[in-house]
Amino acid sequence: MSLLAVEEATKTFAGATVLERVNLRLEAGDRFCLLGRNGAGKSTLLRMIVGMYLPDAGKILLAGKDPAGHPRTRRAIGFASDKPFLYDKLSCREHFTLHAALYDLEVRPATQRGTALLERMGMARSVDQRAETFSFGMRKKLSLVLALLHAPSLLVLDEPLAGLDPEAAVEVEVLLREYNVATDVVARDRVGKPGTVLLSTHSIVFASDFATRQGIMRGGHLAVHSPGGPAAPQPGRT
């Protein structure tokens, strides 16, 4: 059974078809990069996978279950948007407390874990600072830490490198690779169980280096290939 299965998923907004019969399957440990121009449907697909949108046709399954009808299944997903949503008046520590409540985590271990992840991102001294004081890059980093806090089996990221300076981009990539191979600090209770990454990016260079598989969105259609192979529409297993 695939970790993620998107089957013939279609989404329409105001009469315009944004996604049309999209198929995608990810296995545990995949690192999948989604490429495409602005408006091609990348963000819509990611938001549909995490449950922010429901497909008008087709279905999305996580470990064989529909996340929309299974809250526990949704909790196996970590998500960070291209525009980080944070509470400006809350510090990092307070964000960890809130996240712990949302995901039924113990506050103390969640805070310790979040602080350790912040340290990996060069933000150890910012744990008690309010989000309103952060630069865009710092907000992106905190958003990624929150997405990782509950040790999800599937990490979905919309443009995680956009707006980051080169040093911060390297920090993010290192953290994603450690999540993928399930190292101690990043994996929590999932040590030894590979994490699956699904992200969108405009960087062909990053995708070629990071991804085990890639997909290209064009006009609401998805073509999938492995690095070095041709991109072609996939009607079934992709």
Beta strand pairing status for 57-62 and 154-158? unpaired
Sheet with 57-62, strands from edge to edge, namely 16-26, 4-13, 57-62
Q: pLDDT, tens digit, for every residue of 140-193?
A: 999 999 999 999 999 999 999 999 999 999 999 999 999 998 755 554 555 557
pLDDT at 49 over 50: yes
Q: pLDDT, tens digit, for every residue of 50-81?
A: 999 999 999 999 989 888 777 888 889 999 99
Among 6, 12, 3, 23, CA closest to 233 = 23
4: CB partners within 8 A, 6+ apart: 24, 25, 26, 49, 60, 61, 62, 154, 196, 198
pLDDT at 116 over 50: yes
Give the length of the chain: 238
Domains of the chain: 27-56+64-215 (3.40.50.300)
